[in-house]
A and B are shown apart, each in its own frame.
Chain A
Amino acid sequence: MTRQCLMDNVYLTYIPSEKFKTSFLSAQMVVPMEKETAALNALLVNVLSRGTGTLPDMESISRHLDLLYGARLEPVVRKKGENHVFGFLASCVDDRLLPDNERVLEPLADLLGDLFTNPATRNGRLNGEYLRSEQANLIDLIRSEVNDKDTYASFRLIEEMCCGEAYGMRRLGSVEDVEKVSLQKLNKYYLSILPKAHLELFYCGSAPEKRVAGMFKRAFATLPRHGELPLAPSIRKGVNEECRYIEETMDVAQGKLCIGFRTDSTDNAATMLMNAMFGSSGKSKLFENVREKLSLCYYAGSTNHWKKGMITVAAGIDFENYQRALDEIFAQMDAMKNGEWEPWELESARSAVRRSFRAVEDSAGGMEDFILGQIATNGEETFEGLLAAIEAVTPERVRAAARCVRADTVYFLKGKEA
């Protein structure tokens, strides 16, 4: 893997691999996450996805992608630490598997460049029709976040825990912010962000580095570069001694219990292992006790937001089991603090974390997502470094990491009373 600077504030991560049938490409702008611009960024990437100077509408882009043997292109908007990451993911079948040695990689890279630098315009501005239609779609999408109750409840917990922080903001902005965007405003924003936004390019596949760097340089040759928008640094809040309790009601068949913990431990490797034992590996304490022993749920698991010093738990339960499930989850965290586990539990968690890091290397999209996360949080850790750190963690360090954890917020989504 290499990372090189192609132009001012434009970086290319190159990962050679013979594993995949496809080449994976990505072009992402990384800017500080702010309430004022969240909706603008989300709208911009969707409006840009609608057409370029040479392929002016969706149908011509789709036709182009079909002719490139079903190449894929997808606008994506992500939150990474306190930064907003938006752009396009693309992939195409490796040239070696195509009839007649046809080349599809360069045309796809050209399209990526065009989407940013040569959008479809009308009267010298971005297309107002496209803005109106993407506004409506984005509003639908924001409103439909409530359709998936698990994701919704997990996000509501983060929103409550990180109130006022970029990390707690809505990835796509609010409905009101999206509605307020005019064509003039979006156009002005596009022209101002394009030259100064940090741009990350990514390639994983079998093409040699020289070919990849050359094609991206050509594809982004007309990208203006002046000014610089620095990335936002990561924020880690301290722990609270008081836990907050929040309940919401909806027309649902199953209750969603989400619990947020904070930690002030700086021992990341030990916290990772502690979380794996507690709730994220196959034989975790939550799985074995909340599900297998007490049959309270189908799923109960935890996520370690390691850059934020947060651990969150999610479980789907019957409404009347709220207190039992909550007590049991807290009891399992206490067990972690008291070192109540057998040696095999720690070793299994260590194997699980090791596998999850190694398996990321078998997924081009997984690597891209990890590397972007590192860039957006100014992280220095590599896979190899993390793997070595995990091997060195002792039981005492796991217990110490657990003792730094405090419950911060409990969120419960429950059904309407009959």
Chain B
Amino acid sequence: MSKVEYPRLAEAISRRTLPNGLEVIVVHKPFHAKHYAFFATCYGGLDMRFKLNGQWHDTPAGIAHFLEHKMFDMEDGSATRTLAENGASENAFTANDMTAYYFECTENFYDSLGVLLKFVSTPYFTQESVDKEQGIIAQEIRMSDDDPEWRNYLNIVRCLYRDHPARTTVAGTVESIAQITPQTLYDCHKAFYTPSNMILVCIGSMELDKVCAIAEEILPGESGETIERSYGEIEDLTPAVKEMEEEMEIAAPMFLTGYKCAVAPMNELLRANIIGSMACDVLFGDSSPLYNRLYEEGHINGSLGGSFELIPGAAFLYVGGDARDPHYVSGEIAKEAARLAAEGIDENFYRQIRRATYGQMIRELNSFEDIAISLADGHFRGFDYYSFPEIFDGISKSDIEEFLRSNIIPEHSAISIIYPSEHGKET
């Protein structure tokens, strides 16, 4: 067993790959009262088309998320009850490229860990329970339908991409989840919930040996085949639609403007992520000249923000918030990107952003969930998350300028706007 220390981060981890292919990581946090376990599979909302036994399969939108809901069921109904009795609080989420099950507790950690591994690795679906879940998830989908920020995000992704599966939501639609049967759930579980496609991250004062012993006892001794997936052809950087509008019961117009970006090669994902995020700070972050000018002029309020996202087969940057005149604000963002590309980033401003970025990355180590997601993401996509200080050292001002110059240009952009419902009547 090798304990690896990361002195620049004051972090220490132990890790081991089990004979069945499962990656196990323990992050040592001896001072916390809580213990945390995170068991994830590299399978998410985007993974709808895949090859199994030499044949391509197309599965309904929302299947990974549906499966996540149903994994909590055991034939004897005991899993969540045992966790509850142990005082563990469990939950799960499905993202574009990952499904994760986790719990937090302050007592009985190893016992609860066994329960978590058991229910995630044991498929049990009936027609009756599938029918019932369709009602629950339909309400979850309706809840998102009323969330204007979520609608705006979905619309900008649909503006940018013609075919990429990001166009469908992780939860799917009421219609798509109606096609799900117990058999589709069994097939997907078999394909993706296999040890070599998964990772177990534990955070707290547990021991790697004990964690591994429990995992070996409960999980299958051998792994299934590696599954090939398809997200379609990599798209060119021209958006599918330049603009999308919608009306909802909200107080003021909200917008998101998005830019389709080049997809980074697999071995540069962490670096590409840091560069994209620094480009956001330079372009529209709280301390940027643009943000402060727009705020002082009353064009935006504190809600302006955005992010750079890298998902399998796609990358994009988006920014937005409340604005009385969305077109003006998105126009100013485009102008500022052009100015930065032409004139370069001010040397002092760049130094300032570097410090802020470094502090922000250190700060993320406060959150057990953030750590677990980043370690899992790194494992699935081939990088060591804890190497970020060294990657960061190698990034220069010209990298950010190059990113802005090649990606943040009008030809790659689209805008989504949500207006208050009465908008139509006024105009």
Contact = CB atoms under 8 A, between A and B. Distances in A.
B216 interface: no
Interface stretch (A54-62, A163-171, A193-201, A213-221): A54-62
Contacts of B87: 348, 351-352, 354-355
B135 to A, nearest CB: 3
A18 B393 CA distance: 27
A67 B135 CA distance: 51
B85 A351 contact: yes
B140 A298 contact: yes
Given A140-B252, A149-B146, A283-B84, A295 B136 contact: yes
Interface string A388-410: 00000000000000000000000
B181 interface: no
B365 interface: yes
Contacts of A211: none
A250 B249 contact: yes
Contact of A359 (B104, B135, B147, B362): B104
A133 B58 CA distance: 52
Interface size grouping (class) on chain A: 35 or more
B356 to A, nearest CB: 4
A252 interface: yes
Contacts of A292: 132, 136
B248 interface: yes
Contacts of A20: 366
Contact of A295 (B135, B298, B355, B421): B135
A254 B251 contact: no
Contacts of A69: 355-356, 358-359, 362
A345 to B, nearest CB: 8
A19 B32 contact: yes
Given A67-B352, A144-B322, A146-B249, A282 B89 contact: yes
A317 B135 CA distance: 10
Nearest to A295: B135
**Interface-central residue, A21, A62, A92, A296, by most chain B CB under 10 Å:** A21
A358 B34 contact: yes
Contacts of B246: none
A242 interface: no
B292 A57 contact: yes
B31 A347 contact: no
Interface in B114-158: 132-133, 135-137, 139-140, 142-143, 145-149
A65 interface: yes
A388 to B, nearest CB: 16
Interface of A: 17-22, 57-59, 62-63, 65-71, 91-93, 96-97, 129, 133, 136-137, 140-141, 143-150, 250-254, 281-283, 291-292, 295-299, 316-318, 344, 347-348, 351-352, 354-356, 358-359, 361-362
Given A282-B84, A355-B89, 11 more contacts: A65-B356, A66-B352, A70-B360, A140-B251, A144-B250, A147-B149, A251-B248, A254-B145, A299-B143, A316-B143, A358-B34
Interface of B: 8-10, 29, 31-34, 80-81, 83-90, 104-107, 132-133, 135-137, 139-140, 142-143, 145-149, 248-252, 286-287, 289, 292, 295-296, 298, 301-302, 322, 352-353, 355-360, 362-363, 365-366, 421
